[in-house]
Amino acid sequence: MSTTPTETTPTPIPAHPPTLVKRLRDILQLRFSDVYADLPAAAMASISPANPLKRLARVLAYASLRLVGNVFRPIRNPDNLHGQVWLYVVSANNYDALSFIKAARTDAVLLAGQAKNIGRYNGAVNRLSLRRKLLYYWQFPWAFIGLLRSEGRRAWRYFDFIFYAIGYYEVYRRALRHYRPRAVVFSNDHNDDSRSLLLACQAEGVPTAYIQHASVSTSFPPLGFDLSLLEGQDALDKYRQCGPVRGRVELVGMPKADAFLGQKNTQPAVKRVGLACNVHDPVSALTETLSYLMAELPGLTFTLRPHPSDPRDFQPLRRALPLLQWSDSKQENVFAFLQKHDALIAADTSTHLEAILLNLASIYFQFSGNAAINDYYGYVAHGLIDAAQDLPALKALLLQYQARKPTDLFRRASYYNATVGTEHEDRSQELAADIITKWMR
């Protein structure tokens, strides 16, 4: 059996930050980064409104519906959480990335925060009580003042994020002491609740592992798990730019893709084109792009797939383009969506990598024209995908692939997926599960 690329560093995992302000700065690291500061106003509006009164209204709604609501919401978990391996998820994508461990281990349980929205898997995960989170909001004034001193105007701009993050760390430390899990496995390393649990695990001495669920960014927090299973060299190189890489690192490919890598797209020409979008992509720009392509390329069929967290109303677009097909990302797995298409058009999303792995022609097109986040994942720079600067160039690329689509596009992904072209190419789950089992002995 060939050896998968491995990197082990002697750098120990640091103790949790000792003060409230330092902990919250760690927990909210991505929120205070330049990436958030550079997001288009329209994209940020759905996450954190620019108007402080609207932010305050969201905070009050969170306090009444989530904090107070949690107090009166009973928790009846189907699984025993005591002494088990926790698979902590914050989204449906996280669930897809970790569910194979649940299938491989009888002591593994999937769980999330009490009211966390896990999409189509909401009823399939256990819940950690957050009722006591309300008891820690006396900390907010001191935390806000401390972060104003260290972060300046960004603390004011994101006071809602500070409010949401209060109490997670303390509640999760209490849960860890009560349940004493054998280990906690994450698939997100930058959300406030995930980072809070990570710091709580470090404080309580609970081993932690991380399985990458999507492409990473150099804006992410430094890698700080006891064991990190990354997809490929790209992720490791980027995490090295984030800060010291701590703990043991293994490159294992993309476990969630195993079932699909043996079903690569063999069509010699593009006929079906999918477009993936998120809140960063203005609806007006999506409408303009689709209207142009559907008029100029009537021989192709087009499908739009909004991100599962996209809350926008697409009814006007549906009415404007009745021939446009749709994918419901809350119900349809991303690989199932890609299998129905020969090409993908999208801006900054890891769906490009997933498309290339299935041998789709994937094209980067920046709908919003926001130069600050252009080629966020570096896919174009590293030759993974093609790029179109304007609509005529996008049309030209589609015409090229409509005439001929190569059969070996997936080989471009070897820098991002360590198992491409190896005996482990569709066995990443087996490889990852074996590493985790040996690590836990």
pTM, to two decimals: 0.85
Based on the domain organization, do 47 and 165 belong to the same domain? yes
Based on the domain organization, do 342 and 306 belong to the same domain? yes
Q: pLDDT tens digits for 340-365?
A: 999 999 999 999 999 999 999 999 99
Residue with tokens 């107090």: 71
Q: How many domains does the chain have?
A: 2
Nearest to 159 by CA among 178, 182, 139, 143: 143
Based on the domain organization, do 339 and 406 belong to the same domain? yes
Low-confidence ranges of the chain (pLDDT < 50): 1-5, 8-10
Based on the domain organization, do 356 and 282 belong to the same domain? yes
Q: pLDDT tens digits for 51-98?
A: 999 999 999 999 988 899 888 888 999 999 999 999 999 998 899 999
Rounded CA-CA distance 256/44 in Å is 29
HSE-up of residue 312 (Cα within 13 Å, Cβ side)? 23
- Structural domain of 367: 260-415
Based on the domain organization, do 59 and 150 belong to the same domain? yes
Based on the domain organization, do 154 and 192 belong to the same domain? yes
Establish if 1 belongs to a structural domain. no
Q: Cα separations (Å) of 129 from 44, 70, 159, 233? A: 29, 8, 24, 37
Predicted pLDDT at 39:
74
Q: pLDDT tens digits for 155-190?
A: 999 999 999 999 999 999 999 999 999 999 999 999
Establish if 421 belongs to a structural domain. no
Establish if 433 belongs to a structural domain. yes
Establish if 52 belongs to a structural domain. yes
**Which two three-digit tokens encode residue 357?**
């792995």
Based on the domain organization, do 118 and 42 belong to the same domain? yes
CATH code, domain carrying 100: 3.40.50.2000
Kindly provide the b/e burial profile for residues 33-53, where b requires at least 16 CB atoms within 10 angstroms of the residue's own CB.
Answer: bebbeebbebbbeeebbeeee
